[in-house]
Amino acid sequence: MRSYIYNLDPKKMPDAWYNILPDLPTPHAPVLHPVTHKPVVPEDLSPIFPMNLIEQEMSSERYISIPGEVMDRYLMFRPSPLRRAYRLEEALQTPAKIYYKNESVTPSGSHKINTSIPQAYFNKVEGVKSLSTETGAGQWGTALSIACAMFDMECKVYMVRVSFDQKPYRKGFMETFGATVIASPSDTTEVGRQIRAENPDTSGSLGMAISEAVEVAVKSGGSVKYALGSVLNHVCMHQTIIGEEALLQMEMADDYPDVVIGCCGGGSNFAGIAFPFVREKFNKNLDTKFIAAEPTACPTLTKGPYAYDFGDTGKLTPLIKQYTLGHNFVPPGIHAGGLRYHGVAATVAHLKKDNIIEAVALHQNPCFNASLMFAKAEGIIPAPESGHAVCTAINEALKAREAGESKTILFNLSGHGHFDITAYEAYMRGGLQDLELDDESLSKGLASIPDIQE
């Protein structure tokens, strides 16, 4: 009898997050102060983050222990299952073996809660009572609203306007847990009012929403801190619980991936599944292939230069060495709102620069087609973001079929698409466009990248 699901014993769940910084094969570029352009020190970040998270961000320790109160809440839904996609393999008639880590089973419906819980906890420990944040498609805002409710904290979410309009149930979900949700750009912040004055019809962007949320924290005098759902090192580190579990579950399956795949916007879920396997690649000299899948409408890793840039439109954040389309770039309103970000995590960018990982850019129609095939085979409707990983896994499985090779493929199903049915309906009606980033929009975005002399 074949096994479809590999459930890890909760008693064997990893009790530490993995920090990839000490294992990077080449020196990591420092994060720079937005005004002085000198490497940031902890005090520079203290207006927006609690000191314990700043210490994690800059830590040189390979492993960071998961606090007991965080572990208690993780155990409400973790370990998440690893599943073998036998029916998808049969539909594809491929000799490849396809596994996926199912992060859709969390209370928030995505991987984002893996970092929202520790971020809320570490803020609570330092006496913070309110958090501000941004969200694209709403997965991160949903996760933070749940975590804030767990720790009796206030939560204010700036949601990218196009997603605010496309996904009303996400707003209602966040409000159910007590969050205040505001369409971004808004008239509640100085940067939001400025953006709206310059472009009143803008659909918004994650860069704009980040600026608004950071401004709220900076101007609060310390009563509000900022929480970020991706990009930063401590966020990616919290997500490595995914890959650490997957390593143990692949052992249970007596298998090991030749290919590891994750969709990639800011980079947190890709880092979460990939980084522990990258460590194994380094330690054991393995030939594992890593693929970050992004949209053609926002092709950061495949078309952006590797350069210092701001993480937000209002230039309030530090400068990070990353692949970037420019902090002023406004991507088209594709349904994979969580992948509409101009930059990427510095650690993910560093691995791409060193050719440890690779990236592909996909149109949204093939991703929805792959997601429907996956749903019919596996019974789970993927989020549009996760559909990029599904599509890439299917493409790799078809390559294996053509080559007659029995590859083992692992991807992260980062979330379900229960709030994205209107997007699926639009796809089935033929109402979705495959958007390619045009040269004019790319040039306009790239023009906003600052000239930083290293």
Quick check: 285 pLDDT over 90? yes
How far, in Å, CA of 302 to CA of 446, rounded?
A: 14
Which of the residue ranges 83-97, 162-176, 269-283, 323-337 would you say has the lowest mean pLDDT?
Answer: 323-337
Per-residue pLDDT band for 360 (boundaries 50, 70, 90) equals: very high
> What six digits make up the tokens of 17?
């997050």
Q: Could you give the count of Cα atoms lying within 13 Å of 61 in the half-sphere of its Cβ?
A: 11
Rounded CA separation 411/263 (Å): 9
pLDDT at 53: 95
The residue ranking higher by pLDDT, 423 or 370, is: 370
| Higher-scoring residue by pLDDT: 436, 53 | 53
pLDDT band at 436 (very low <50, low <70, confident <90, very high): confident
How many helices (H) and strands (E) the chain has is answered by: 19, 15
Percentage of the chain modeled with pLDDT above 90: 77
pLDDT at site 317: 84
Long-range contacts of 53-56 (CB under 8 A, 24+ apart): 53/119, 53/122, 53/123, 53/234, 56/19, 56/122, 56/233, 56/234, 56/237
End-to-end CA distance of the chain: 59
Q: Model's pTM, two decimal places?
A: 0.94
CATH of the structural domain 79-109+240-446, one choice from 1.10.10.10, 3.40.50.1100, 1.20.1440.60, 1.20.120.420: 3.40.50.1100
> What's the pLDDT band for 331 if we cut at 50, 70, 90?
confident
Q: Which residue has the higher pLDDT, 393 or 138?
A: 393
User: Is the pLDDT reported for residue 337 higher than 70?
Assistant: no
Instruction: Return the domain boundaries, the chain.
Output: 23-66+112-233, 79-109+240-446
Q: In the predicted model, what is the mean pLDDT of residues 386-404?
A: 97
Q: In the prediction, which pLDDT does 112 show?
A: 95
Q: Cα dihedral angle (345, 24, 407, 296), rounded to 10 degrees?
A: 20
DSSP label at 224? E
- Rounded CA-CA distance 181/196 in Å is 18
The model's pLDDT over 27-46, given as tens digits with 9 standing for 90+, comes to 889 999 988 999 999 998 88
Distances (CA, A) of 185 to 159, 222, 262, 284, 399: 8, 23, 29, 47, 43
Which CATH fold topology does 23-66+112-233 show?
A: Rossmann fold (3.40.50)
Identify the DSSP state of 110: B
For residue 244, what are its two tokens? Answer: 């650490």
pLDDT at 439: 82
The pLDDT value recorded for residue 1 is 61
pLDDT, tens digit (0-9, with 9 covering 90-100), for 52-99: 999 999 999 999 999 999 999 999 999 999 999 999 999 999 999 999
Distance (Å) of CA 7 to CA 11, 99, 276, 390: 12, 13, 19, 21
Is the pLDDT reported for residue 376 higher than 70? Answer: yes
Same fold, 23-66+112-233 and 79-109+240-446: yes
pLDDT in tens, 151-185: 999 999 999 998 888 888 889 999 999 999 999 99
Give yes or no for residue 116 having a pLDDT over 80.
yes
Query: Average model confidence (pLDDT) for the chain?
Result: 93
CB 401 within 8 A of CB 92: yes
Residue 26 clears pLDDT 90, i.e. is over it: yes
